Chain A
Amino acid sequence: MKATYSAVSASSHSHPAPAAGPPASSGGITRTEVLQIEGMTCASCSNFVQRALTRTPGVTQATVNLASEKATVEFDPARIDSAGLKAAVEQAGYAVHDAVAPVTPGLLASDDELAARKAAAYQQLKRRFQVAVGLALVIMPLSMLMLWPALMSRISMPVLNYVLLLLTVPVLLYSGREFYVSAWNGLRHRTASMDTLIAVGTGAAFLYSLATTVVPDFFRQRGLVPEVYYDTTATIIALILLGKVLESRAKAQTSAAIKALIGLQAKTARLIRNGQEVDVPLEQVRPGDEVLVRPGEKVATDGIILAGHSALDESMLTGESLPVEKTAGDPVFGATLNKTGSFRFRVSKVGTDTMLARIVKLVEEAQGSRAPIQRLADQVSAVFVPVVMLVAIATFVVWFDVAAPAQRLPLALVNFVAVLIIACPCALGLATPTAIMVGTGKGAEYGVLIRNAEALEKAYRVNTVLLDKTGTITRGEPGVMDYVPAATAPADTLARLAALERQSEHPLAEAVVRYADEQRADRLEATGFQAHEGRGAAATVAGSEVLIGNRRLLTEQRVALPPELEQAAEELLRQARTVLYAAIDGQAVALLGVADTVRETSREAIRHLQAEGIEVVIMTGDNQQTAAAVAAQVGITRFFADVLPEGKAGKVKELQAEGRTVAMVGDGINDAPALAQADVGLAIGSGTDVAMEAAGITLMRSDLRGVVTAIDLSRQTIRTIRQNLFFAFLYNVLGIPLAAGVLYPFTGWLLSPMIAAGAMALSSVSVLTNSLRLRAFRPE
């Protein structure tokens, strides 16, 4: 991550955008700029640069930060410019690093430099590992020569030991250097890490071996065999480095989702300026600009379509796999893909305001959040390393005190080293966050944005889902469910009704037109359209007088309802339909039953939730009958009808009072209090227009299957975390006593430090790999 520029009030850097540079003025207006200074090594350097800048004419104030290598300069733009400031710094003997940072504040920066540094560090780690392995492969067989007495009799033991020493020193100083440096640095801050354990463990083995090599007689005089542990030292370092190599490879994959999201943004946009098409870098695009998008191109940023229409693939943002039809007036979003047509749009948002940037920010924040489940692991890791050191010292003392005199020093030493090496605080630390990172990233891929780890953890425990009816289960727009023509009705009744309704803008009229189109009714022309406010409409179609509306309209127009239609109307009303009555030339001809249509996906999602043992409850402002009808359609038995908006949170409480863990699904705007009251709030958005900050989990498309995905994902993630924590705790709880030799009195088992190193190297990788399994998650 590059240094950010938050302290800058009107930063300009070397702004290439002609439109953005504020006009130079001399009316005492100062500008602030941040310079990246190179070459400062100490506090006196920064003081020097600061003085040089302050004395430059036109500069009103300058502060230089050594740690961040930044100079914040306030200056009068009429008297000096960026080039002048740069010259002043260069005159003082330092260089100004031209800001390569993105110039549009907050544009998503995929940090190439950070990536490059990480790649270099990884290469180095690999080299250090290779050297350690290469040397350990020589040291190991040499140390085993004593297994062949015939061979040993020809080789001088002291010479062999010196050879081994010579081979081990590079492993320590080159491959293992980091452990010692880091341990030392940590001790200076009274911090102990895994490096401390490795440094102390291998250091002790090495120093003991060094002593037995240099002064073997000292040991012989005390009745001890001057054994060396060079193979142990080298092998431990090689194995731990192996663990680190594997770990660093796996860890890079945990944050892959965010990188993929950032990588989605377009690099350039085709602006229309003065009737000309110009390709400009994305950073230069400003709200209000007009952008042209051709088929197959990426939409550069967020905006509203001015002209043209197309189908857009928005799956990268919403998880919706089908392209979305868009036309003039519809919003488009940066990073989505234009499929079929060309269109022009007016830019409404750039940089951090865009949908993509908001998604990235949300996912990043979720990945930085802490899950309550890891509290214990956190408490343990805080004291883990010092406690292991205490255990290791105690192990040494006990073995020294109880073992046979000739064996006590080597046994104490070997077990001391084994305890230090087997302990793995990393597995404990990695158990939760890596799973959260993979889980939240995976959610974003399917349009399920998880706000923080806590929401994920709560979703795991949900046993009741409360759905707000309108807009979640149903489309929120009426549809014709029943068409009941009278026996005497002419064959083209539906076509005539549609011709009349086409003239109207009433939502019910639209439903009739849609239905007629679905039934492939003929298209007729209507003339003399007349709206009857609050009752219906009339017009002349194919020479006859057509009438459609409510019962009152028919009564007013003195149209009688034949018994068959009367009966059908009663039946429809019982099913909670809104009934439309139609007449042609004063004769009642048909009834239409209209109702809010249930989304096809709702039924499937609800069945899925029920199959997972979750009770689904509906809540709606509609009357008892309508609510019952919708509930029956989607297979729900429990519902709350006639709920006023302010009563929604109360219903959530009611369910919670029954001891349920409630997930509330709503649109995030009208039911914010209910979402907040629920254990987990899921805001469901139509398209990408959704209040993301309103709820613990945001579903990027109006599809209840997102609720299933969110709950399934949370269940899998938390299950993974539990496995990880269980493994990490068990590993340490069993491994440390085993290494200390508690089984020795009973079974004679001791753990070789080399095996301890292998176990330790694999333990954190196992946890990481387990977390990465979540990448295989697919919504059902």
Chain B
Amino acid sequence: MDSAQLIVTMLGLGLMGFVGWFFFLAPHQVAAAVSSGSGIQEVAITVKGGYSPNVVEVRQGQPVQLNFYRDEDNSCSEELLLPDFNIRRELAPFQTTSIEFLPQQAGTFIFTCGMGILRGQVVVR
């Protein structure tokens, strides 16, 4: 193994470690819902190549309104799925789409894009 191979191998392994950490282990952006005057827990989520924040904390038993602002027209994010609440909604580009549901049970519920690649979680406490 010459030096170039050694360098490439080391760099490659390092990069693999970084990729693994970056996607699987690094902490996620968490946001807690803010209750409006009318008792609805609102969270604004920006959709741009992913969801930010992608972990949303809400309280059990109170209606939740997730306001998805889709800041792109990339077709990957055109649909939003919240399967545990039977929700499939199209998000209009550069617009806010509100999604409402009532979390009756505590737990973690996934929301994803139409193809299940972009992901976020609603954590009901």
Contacts and interface: CB of A to CB of B under 8 A. Distances in A.
A binds B: yes
B5 interface: yes
A67 B44 contact: yes
Given A383-B24, A385-B117, A397-B8, A7 B97 contact: no
Interface in A1-16: 1-4, 6-7, 9
Given A6-B98, A386-B20, A125 B8 contact: no
A412 B8 CA distance: 11
Contact of B37 (A63, A185, A364, A405): A63
Contacts of A3: 67, 95-98
Contacts of B60: none
Nearest to A66: B44
The B interface is mostly helix, strand or loop, or mixed, namely mixed
Contact of A185 (B24, B50, B83, B87): B50
B83 A368 contact: yes
Interface stretch (A175-183, A566-574, A630-638, A678-686): A175-183
A191 B1 contact: no
A260 interface: no
A365 B86 contact: yes
A105 B108 CA distance: 31
Interface in A323-372: 364-370
B38 A425 contact: no
A229 to B, nearest CB: 19
Interface string A48-84: 0000000000000101011111101000000000000
Contact of A191 (B82, B95, B118): B118
Nearest to B115: A429
A401 B1 contact: yes
Nearest to A195: B76
A4 B98 contact: yes
Interface in B42-60: 42, 44, 46, 48-52, 54
A320 interface: no
B24 A386 contact: yes
A194 B118 CA distance: 10
| Chain B: interface size category | 35 or more
A47 B111 CA distance: 30
B116 interface: yes
Contact of A7 (B19, B36, B84, B89): B36
B63 to A, nearest CB: 8
B74 to A, nearest CB: 5
A186 B49 contact: yes
A520 interface: no
B86 A6 contact: no
B117 A185 contact: no
Interface residues of A, number: 75
Interface in B71-102: 72-76, 78, 81-93, 95-98, 100
Contacts of B82: 368
B37 to A, nearest CB: 7
B100 A184 contact: no
Interface string B62-73: 010101010011
A1 B116 contact: no
Contacts of A428: 115-116
B12 interface: yes
Contacts of B5: 400-401
B57 to A, nearest CB: 17
B15 interface: yes
A121 B115 contact: no
A381 B82 CA distance: 16
Given A117-B92, A368-B86, A193 B117 contact: yes
B106 interface: no
Contacts of A400: 4-5, 8-9, 12
24 contacts: A1-B90, A1-B92, A2-B95, A6-B65, A67-B96, A68-B69, A114-B92, A117-B93, A118-B90, A121-B73, A124-B73, A191-B50, A192-B23, A193-B76, A195-B49, A367-B88, A368-B81, A378-B116, A381-B117, A389-B19, A425-B117, A428-B115, A429-B115, A433-B88
List the 4 shortest-distance A-B pairs measured between CB atoms, nearest first. A185-B49, A429-B115, A189-B50, A368-B88
